[in-house]
């Protein structure tokens, strides 16, 4: 399972990159706005920090402008994945860019039907938003299960990239279902390390070792 950081905070990205566990980064217009930084230089910096795919989203909803934006973003670095919304125009752009070998991440997916269209359009990644479905009392994980099952019936090359992740449970449930990627806020990834029994057991090891008065070095 690949872990992507869902953030535009370069300090968090550097921190996670240093763990060796980070496989990529996803951004979106809201995360860019939150960073307060200029879009293109920020994406250039992120592409220099991680080797894996960095998703940068188009801003327009018009096909012609979206295509021009996507071509500009793709030119930033080899590891750019152009993010497009799951609309008719977005999937037309996806088809054109993916046919030319550009990675495309199709975002704002909320149904299996949308996911089928994205795969047929040659998407590199499909981003179903589990948290936002949970927010309206739908079962986000049911969508992931449906997409993984449906994709398994065909030779689609699209990876299921679980997005709108809100908790470690989303990560674990996605892994149980065989999703390819989870993109998470950095703190959700960090929560995976934590367990009270690990902390308690380590404290006991440290104290018992201290009692020996020995040193390894
Ligand atoms: O990548 C999509 C993600 O940023 C959306 O998350 O929590 O705003 O639904 P959220």
Domain assignment present for residue 217? The answer is no
Taking the CA of residue 166 as reference, the ligand 1 atom at the shortest distance is 7
Identify which of 12, 105, 132 to mutate to test ligand 1's pocket (most ligand atoms within 8 A of the CB).
132
Domain assignment present for residue 13? The answer is yes
Mean pLDDT value across the chain: 98
Domain boundaries, position 80: 2-212
CATH number of the domain encompassing residue 149: 3.20.20.70
Considering the entire predicted model, what is its pTM? 0.96
Task: Spot the catalytic one: 83, 92, 120, 191.
Answer: 83
Residue 29 has a pLDDT of 98
Please report the sign of the dihedral spanned by the C-alpha atoms of residue 170, residue 171, residue 176, residue 181: positive
Domain assignment present for residue 20? The answer is yes
Average pLDDT over residues 177-197: 97
- CA distances (Å), 146 to each of 86, 115, 137, in order? 17, 10, 17
Query: Measured from the CB, is residue 7 less than 6 Å from ligand 1?
Result: no
Nearest-CA residue for ligand 1 atom 1 is 163
- For the segment 113-126, what is each residue's pLDDT rounded down to a tens digit? 999 999 999 999 99
Nearest-CA residue for ligand 1 atom 7 is 164
Average pLDDT over residues 103-121: 98
Please give the sequence-ordered ranges of beta strands (E in DSSP) within 95-190, or none if there are none: 103-109, 125-128, 159-162, 181-184
Contact criterion met (CB below 8 Å) for 147 and 158:
no
Domain assignment present for residue 143? The answer is yes
Exposure on the CB side of residue 61, measured as CA atoms within 13 A: 2
Domain assignment present for residue 165? The answer is yes
Domain assignment present for residue 102? The answer is yes
Question: What distance in angstroms lies between residue 164's CA and the mean position of ligand 1's atoms?
Answer: 4
- For the segment 134-171, what is each residue's pLDDT rounded down to a tens digit? 999 999 999 999 999 999 999 999 999 999 999 999 99
Query: Measured from the CB, is residue 163 less than 6 Å from ligand 1?
Result: yes
Q: Active-site residue 200, yes or no?
A: no
Average pLDDT over residues 194-202: 98
Query: Measured from the CB, is residue 27 less than 6 Å from ligand 1?
Result: no
Question: What distance in angstroms lies between residue 170's CA and the mean position of ligand 1's atoms?
Answer: 13
Contact criterion met (CB below 8 Å) for 121 and 98:
yes
Percentage, residues of the chain above pLDDT 70: 100
Band of residue 52 on the pLDDT scale cut at 50, 70, 90: very high
Provide the domain count of the chain.
Answer: 1
Average pLDDT over residues 188-208: 98
- For the segment 38-50, what is each residue's pLDDT rounded down to a tens digit? 999 999 999 999 9
Query: Measured from the CB, is residue 55 less than 6 Å from ligand 1?
Result: no
Domain assignment present for residue 133? The answer is yes
Query: Measured from the CB, is residue 183 less than 6 Å from ligand 1?
Result: yes
Question: What distance in angstroms lies between residue 200's CA and the mean position of ligand 1's atoms?
Answer: 34
Domain assignment present for residue 185? The answer is yes
């Amino acid at each position: 399972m690949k872990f992507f950081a869902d953030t535009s905070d370069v300090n968090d990205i550097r921190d996670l990159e240093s763990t060796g566990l980070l496989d990529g980064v996803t951004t979106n217009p809201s995360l860019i706005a939150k960073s307060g930084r200029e879009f293109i230089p920020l994406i250039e910096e992120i592409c220099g920090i991680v080797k894996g795919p960095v998703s940068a989203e188009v801003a327009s909803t018009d096909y012609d402008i979206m295509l021009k934006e996507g071509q500009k973003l793709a030119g930033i670095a080899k590891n750019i994945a152009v993010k497009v919304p799951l609309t008719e125009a977005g999937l037309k752009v996806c088809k054109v860019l993916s046919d030319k070998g550009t990675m495309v991440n199709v975002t704002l997916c909320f149904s299996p039907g949308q996911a089928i269209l994205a795969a047929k359009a040659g998407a590199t990644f499909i981003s179903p938003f589990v948290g936002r479905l949970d927010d309206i009392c739908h079962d986000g994980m049911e969508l992931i299960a449906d997409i993984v099952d449906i994709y398994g019936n065909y030779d689609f090359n699209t990876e299921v990239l679980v997005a709108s992740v809100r908790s470690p449970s989303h990560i674990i449930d996605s892994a149980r279902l065989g999703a390819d990627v989870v993109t998470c806020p950095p703190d959700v990834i960090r929560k995976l390390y934590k367990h009270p029994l690990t902390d308690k057991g380590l404290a006991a090891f440290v104290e018992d070792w201290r009692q020996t008065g020995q040193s390894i070095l």
